[in-house]
A and B are shown apart, each in its own frame.
Chain A
Amino acid sequence: MSLPKASELPIGAVIPEPGSTRRNKTAGWRTLKPVIHDDRCVRCQLCWLYCPEGTIVEIKGVFKVNGRTYDTKYEINYDYCKGCGICANECPTKAIEMVPEAP
Chain B
Amino acid sequence: MKVYYKTLRDLPREELFAPGHRMCAGCGAAIAMRWITKTIGPNAVIVNATGCVEVTTTPYPETAWMHPYIHVAFENSAAVASGVEAAIKTLKKKGRWDAGDSKVVVIAGDGGTYDIGLQSLSGMLERRHGVLYILYDNEAYMNTGIQRSGSTPKYAWTTTTPVGTALRGKVQWKKDIMGIVMAHRVPYAATASVAYILDMVNKIKTALDYTEEGPTFLHIFAPCVPGWRYPENKTVEIARLAVETGYFPLYEWDHGKLKLNPPSNNHLDKSKRKPLKEYLKLQGRFAHLTEQEIAEIEKELDAYWEYLGKLTQL
Contacts and interface: CB of A to CB of B under 8 A. Distances in A.
A21 B57 contact: yes
Contacts of A79: 19
A84 B26 contact: yes
Nearest to A48: B8
B232 A21 contact: no
Interface band, chain A: 35 or more
Interface string A17-28: 111111111100
Contacts of A80: 19-20
B64 A21 contact: yes
Nearest to B233: A85
Nearest to A77: B19
Consensus secondary structure, chain A interface: loop
A19 B18 contact: yes
A62 interface: no
B62 A54 contact: no
A23 B62 contact: yes
Residue from A13, A22, A53 whose CB has the most chain B CB atoms within 10 Å:
A53
A82 interface: yes
Contacts of B234: 89
Given A29-B25, A50-B31, A52-B30, A20 B62 contact: yes
B173 to A, nearest CB: 29
B292 to A, nearest CB: 32
B20 A58 contact: no
A3 B34 CA distance: 28
Interface residues of B, number: 39
A53 B30 CA distance: 7
Nearest to B67: A18
A52 B222 CA distance: 11
Interface in B22-36: 22-23, 25-28, 30-31, 34
Contacts of B26: 52, 82, 84-86
Interface in B110-129: none
Nearest to A25: B20
Given A50-B236, A85-B26, A90-B236, A55 B19 contact: yes
B264 interface: no
B294 interface: no
Given A21-B20, A52-B23, A55-B19, A89 B236 contact: yes
B60 interface: yes
B251 interface: no
Nearest to B19: A80
B21 interface: yes
A77 B20 CA distance: 12
B70 to A, nearest CB: 10
Residue from A21, A25, A55 whose CB has the most chain B CB atoms within 10 Å:
A21
Given A20-B61, A52-B27, A53-B19, A84 B66 contact: no
Given A85-B233, A86-B233, A54 B66 contact: no
Interface of B: 8-9, 11, 13, 15, 17-23, 25-28, 30-31, 34, 57-67, 194, 197, 231-237
